[in-house]
Amino acid sequence: MIDTPLNATTPGNTANLDFSSIRQAIDHAKHYLPSQGPIAVFIHHNTLHAFESLPFEEAVIEGLRIYGSQPYWQESRYREEMSRDRIQLQDLQTVLKRDLGESCLREIALGTTRFDLRYNMLRYSLSTGSDSEIRWLMAQSDALERFQLGVEPQAGIALLEATRHWIMRDLRLHLGDSSAAIPSSIRSVFDEFPLQSIESWSDSTWQQLTLQLLWRICQDGVRGTRRIGHTSCSVSRHRDILLSLCSFDCDAQVHDLLIRFTSAFLDQGFAGWSIPQRDEGFYKCFLSLFSERSPWSENWLRPLRALLAEECKLVYSPMESIANSLNHLGVPEEKRDEFIKRTLLALPGWTGMVQQMASNASWTLHPAPQDSLEEFLAVRLLLDRLSATLCMRMYLPKLNKLADLFAVEVNKQIDLREQSEQQIAFYVFQLAQRLNWTPSVLHAWTASEWQTVVEEIGLFDDLERRRVLHLAYEHRYRTQILDAVSEHSKLPLKIPEKVSFQVITCIDDREESFRRHLEELDPNVETFGAAGFFSVPMYFRGAADAHFIPLCPVIMVPKNYVEEVGPLSAKQAQVRRAQTRLLIGKASKSFHRSSRSLFSGVLTAIFGSLNAFPLVARVLFPRLTAQIRSTLGTLVRPTIATQLRLERGSDSVVTEKGAEGFTLVEMANMIERLTGDLGIHQRFAPLVIVFGHGSSSLNNPHESAYNCGACGGGQGGPNARAVAQMANDPRVRAILKDRGIVIPDSTLFVGGFHNTCDDSTSYFDIDRIPPNHAEKFVAASEIVDKARKKNAHERSRRFYSLDMRCSDEEAIRHVERRSEDLAQVRPEYNHATNAACFVGRRGRTRGLFMDRRCFLTSYDPTTDDDVTSILNRIMQAVIPVCGGISLEYYFSTVDNIGYGCGTKLPHNITSLIGVMEGAASDLRTGLSQQMVEIHEPVRILFIVEAKPESIVSIMDRNPLISTYIRNHWVQIATLDPQSTRIHLFQGDRFEIYEPGPHVLPTVQASLDWYRGWRQPLGFSTVESRASTSRASAEMEVVS
């Protein structure tokens, strides 16, 4: 249809262009792209990582400006929380006073302070809408007949009386007098009322008159005042201009093609036919594919071949191509950075993935070449040019080159926050009814007074209100937990006299309830929490695994390779099983492929009726099917009696990438560090169980996100196993003894694994437990078994699909079913509801019901040195990890569409690297709606058992921690190791925290506290057998 040459403008001399400035712009822009890598390894991180140098409250507004994603929940959502008392009025008052500081008492109108105004704007839900909505409301609803809903009756009567006095006193006589100084607009209000009978008007007539007068005066008063506008979103791309001029989105067709091409380019081996010339990079690959003559092409793509031919002829590098495109697009020098940023952010998910695959994915099968983002931009700009050109030719035929678009007068500033006169007037109207601003008072305001009020209302706009509401929302939980901790720690330190066994788990919030139940079941159990890789960073390969995977936090790079090997005695059997596995694997691979192909597909399909059995069985009886499958699976799985090849031998391979196994000294170092962190080294029980954790679920592309964060999205079982093996090694114990850490010969370490989804627990190397320990182990494992069932029961209260009357056994069956159910989109709730992190001795929080919302890190301040070096290294790991989890949950919750990945139901795995929504869409990053639906978005509160000075010194030593705390991405408080004094970091320093008059309820068992509740629960002290048994222990001592 339109086939004129594209290069209507003479291409500028690209050689003159400064590539480095373009490169700089790209480098700058790429920080704003989502930094989530391939989904098979899901790492929780701060969604707004790029803005960490800003204070939280500014950063979220930047996020709104750049991504258009919401900084907080919508106001209506906070109002719901107010109505269920999750936010209380006193929270609002406290937070608002603190926020306003000294300007709190500034009087902005007669008798009304700034605090009053803001408080009332927060307290009541004032409605607003577009101008036409407000006009409709006034004309069609009873807004001008009756006081608004929620206006207290006394306030209404006071307002009525004042108005009545005013009219009877001042206005009545002058209404007939046209020369009197009553504005005609007010006079006209009275036209509709029978003035003759004014003395005998009913209350409702007065109400009508009052409201109409108010509305009229508000409208008059606001007219002509200057309103505060914040211009924040600028239009910078051709697409934006064309969209506003002709309602045509030229990105749609570009994205359609770009998504297909990019997903093919990044594909990690899903498609049966990978894209030709992928190795030559994004730009070359695109060029060669689209330079071919094709029998047909879409309208807008027809000039593409000519364009590409020109690119080929001039042998452009991607960078030259970008410069050339920018020239054609006519982007002015000063707008170039913004333009490039906006262009890259137009399809953020895919663009971000190109960048991730190019920079951060060397472990994948097909990483992208290093400069892929540049090449992507070059291609994208070519397509943008074509699409915009076509659109312009179609709708704006008078323009002849793309650069002209910048000259077209469009409203280039989209104001996110400006309010219209009508809207402000409506606010004043509503506030007047509540603050007793009578018509006479408003009428008497001078223009400057009106100006002040309008400005004040404008200052406290939607975003500001949501900010304060959010602070109040956080304040409520903070008050609750700090009061509870302060109250609870008044009780004597809860340390069992005689420890039966010790359990070490990950700090994960999901283990809080597991540990609590263990302690409830056996008061002599001691539990500890350490980051779930247990200070053993390693590459690990299981006996039946294809690859080594790193098991440690992502910020670390392991240096050691550990392999699981089968026992020599069963070598034949191992080989046979491995061969069977290989056979089955190959068969399932060829079924997977051939069922989708042409001819072999026919065979598979004709016998496909057999699939009806697994189909029906798996959907209707998932748990039973899983049991059968697992029984069959044991036939080919490697025997359980495997071992870790943990120690470096003389023949082990050592390269610069790493070494096979650990040396004894390395092992001793790791155990020393772990026991030091935990503070366990003062007293070892005869049995120490170390539980790594992970999660398994079906039909869940985000499965890796449910695993242990400290193991880089892997399962922490091997780490626990390694710790146990190292700590049991007499040679390691000997080294440790020299360093002053004495592990008694009677102490045995056992490694285990806790699956947080089906709440199963398993142990490693139990065959190697010495017979004299067997009894202890069996007794301990029985308690663990009860605890996991109770844990399943407690967490089942959040699952609406299970009756709350269920027993422990039913609960465990239910969670087992959940993890095997193909139809289950919420196998578990992962870190949802996480809100706090306690770093300190378990004795201080033991018996406190924290509702699975608190990370529990063990740290013993009494064994730390003067410069708190142990706390320092703990905080280095805990702050970024827990902070990252908390913030990812925060952002995915407040804007699930913008920051999260939306609902899971239409998710479609693409290229084996991520999910799209439906058939084709941008790659979705973040957490899904089902993962966060029960989450309460609050910034995590760290409560550290230390002196405030120690934290300040740690902040001085670690810029990252300092940034997190000083910019308020996380909250932090300290609990004095010797007393119950709490300091809270507010503003820029620690301030002493005054606990409220809070009574902490005491319950006999956790069950008594949570039974019958689905919602988040407050705190309580669980004190039952713990105290009685302590008493009995004392008795024993006495006797």
Partner 1 sequence: MNVALWTQIFGIVAALCPAILLLLLGFRLLINRPMSELIVGRCLKAAVGMSLVSSLVVLVIMLATGSRREFIDFGDMVAIHDVHFHFHMKFVFDRLSVPMVLLSLVLCGTVGTFGLSYLHRDAGFQRFFVCFAMFLTGMTFASLAGTIETLFLGWELVGLSSALLVAYFHERSAPVTNGLRVWSVYRLADAAFLAAAIALHHQTGGGDFGILMGDEPWPAGTASLSSGTAFLVGTFLLIAAAGKSGLVPFSGWLPRAMEGPTPSSAIFYGALSVHLGAFLLLRASPILDQSTLLCAMIVILGFVSAVFAALAGRVQTDIKSALAFASLTQVSIIVVEIGLGLQYLALVHLIGHACMRSLQLLRAPTLLRDYKTMENAIGESLDHELPRVLAWLGVSTQRKLYRAAMERGYMDSILDEVVVGPFLRLFSIFNCWEQSWTRWLNGSEKPSLSTPLPQGSKLNDE
Q: Please give the residues from 563 up to 582 whose contact with partner 1 meets the rule CB under 8 A.
A: 581-582
- Residue span binding partner 1 (CB under 8 A) among the ranges 90-98, 296-304, 723-731, 946-954: 296-304
Query: Which distant-in-sequence residues (6+ apart) come within 8 Å of 816 by Cβ?
Result: 623, 626, 758, 759, 760
Site residues (CB under 8 A) for partner 1, limited to 3-42: 39-40
- In sequence order, the 6+-apart residues with CB closer than 8 A to the CB of 604 are 591, 594, 595
Note whether 691 and 754 are within 8 A (CB). Answer: yes
| Residues 918 and 908: beta-carbon distance below 8 Å | yes
Q: Which stretch binds partner 1 (CB under 8 A): 70-78, 431-439, 467-475, 907-915?
A: 907-915
Contacts of 44 (CB under 8 A, 6+ apart): 705, 709, 831, 881, 884, 885, 888, 889
Which range binds partner 1 by CB under 8 A, 3-11, 219-227, 311-319, 584-592?
A: 584-592
Residue with Cβ nearer partner 1 (259 or 678) = 259
Closest CA to 45 of 851, 938, 886, 678: 886
261 in contact with partner 1 (CB under 8 A): yes
Q: Which residues contact 890 (CB under 8 A, 6 or more apart)?
A: 47, 937, 938, 939
Q: State yes or no: residue 384 binds partner 1 (CB under 8 A).
A: no
Binding test (CB under 8 A) with partner 1, winner from 403, 410, 698, 1033: 698
The least CB distance from residue 155 to partner 1, in Å, is: 36
- Measured in degrees and rounded to the nearest 5, phi and psi for residue 107 equal -85, 130
Per-residue mark of binding to partner 1, 205-244 (x: CB under 8 A): ----------------------------------------
Asked if 295 is part of the footprint of partner 1 (rule: CB under 8 A), the reply reads yes
Q: Which of 780, 850, 916, 946 binds partner 1 (CB under 8 A)?
A: 916
- Can you tell me the distance from the alpha carbon of 802 to that of 793, in angstroms, rounded to the nearest whole number? 10
Stretch that binds partner 1, among 81-89, 283-291, 935-943, 1014-1022 (CB under 8 A): 283-291
Q: Is 181 in the site for partner 1 (CB under 8 A)?
A: no
Q: Distance between CA atoms of 956 and 965, rounded to whole angstroms?
A: 11
Considering only 136-144, 471-479, 593-601, 740-748, which stretch makes contact with partner 1 by CB under 8 A?
593-601
Per CB under 8 A, the list member of 194, 332, 906, 1001 interacting with partner 1 is: 906
Count residues near partner 1 (CB under 8 A).
96
User: 708: which strand partners?
Assistant: 714
Per CB under 8 A, contacts with partner 1 among 828-847 are: none
Based on the number of CB atoms within 10 Å of its own CB, is 650 exposed (0-12), middle (13-18) or buried (19 or more)?
Answer: exposed
- The answer to whether 315 contacts partner 1 (rule: CB under 8 A) is no
Choose between 178 and 273: whose C-beta lies nearer to partner 1.
273
x-marked contacts with partner 1 along 611-630 as a string, rule CB under 8 A? xx-xxx-xxx----------
Binding to partner 1 by residue 820, rule CB under 8 A?
A: no
Pick 566 or 676: Cβ nearer partner 1? 566
- Min. distance of Cβ 933 from partner 1 in angstroms? 8
- Minimum distance from CB of 6 to partner 1 (Å)? 19
Shorter beta-carbon distance to partner 1: residue 286 or 528: 286
Stretch that binds partner 1, among 58-66, 370-378, 545-553, 641-649 (CB under 8 A): 545-553
712 is a site residue for partner 1 (CB under 8 A): no
* Region binding partner 1 by CB under 8 A among candidate stretches 432-440, 601-609, 754-762, 1025-1033: 601-609
Residue length of the chain: 1039
Q: Exposure of 628 by Cβ count < 10 A (0-12 exposed, 13-18 middle, 19+ buried)?
A: exposed
Q: Does 737 bind partner 1 (CB under 8 A)?
A: no
Query: Strand 560-565 vs strand 658-660: parallel, antiparallel, or unpaired?
Result: parallel
**Which segments within 223-286 are labelled E, that is strand?**
231-234
Q: Which is nearer to partner 1, 298 or 991 (CB)?
A: 298
DSSP letters for 758-824: TTEEEES-GGGS-HHHHHHHHHHHHHHHHHHHHHHHHHHTT-TTS-TT--HHHHHHHHHHHHH-TT-
Q: Could you tell me the end-to-end alpha-carbon distance of the chain, in angstroms, rounded to an integer?
A: 102
Residue nearer to partner 1 on the CB measure, 135 or 260: 260
Q: State whether the Cα torsion 553-557-560-563 is positive or negative.
A: positive
List the Cα angle 246/247/250 in 5-degree steps.
Answer: 90
Q: Residue 985's beta-bridge partner residues?
A: 990
For 1015-1039, the DSSP string reads S----EEE-SHHHHHHHHHHHHHH-
Least Å from the CB of residue 76 to partner 1: 16
Phi-psi region of 380 (alpha: psi -120 to 50; beta: other; left: phi over 0): alpha
Span interacting with partner 1, options 57-65, 245-253, 369-377, 1029-1037, rule CB under 8 A: 245-253
Q: How far is the CB of 296 from partner 1 (least distance, A)?
A: 4
Which residue from 224, 608, 744, 1001 is in contact with partner 1, where contact means CB under 8 A? 608
Question: What's the closest the beta carbon of residue 39 comes to partner 1, in angstroms?
Answer: 7
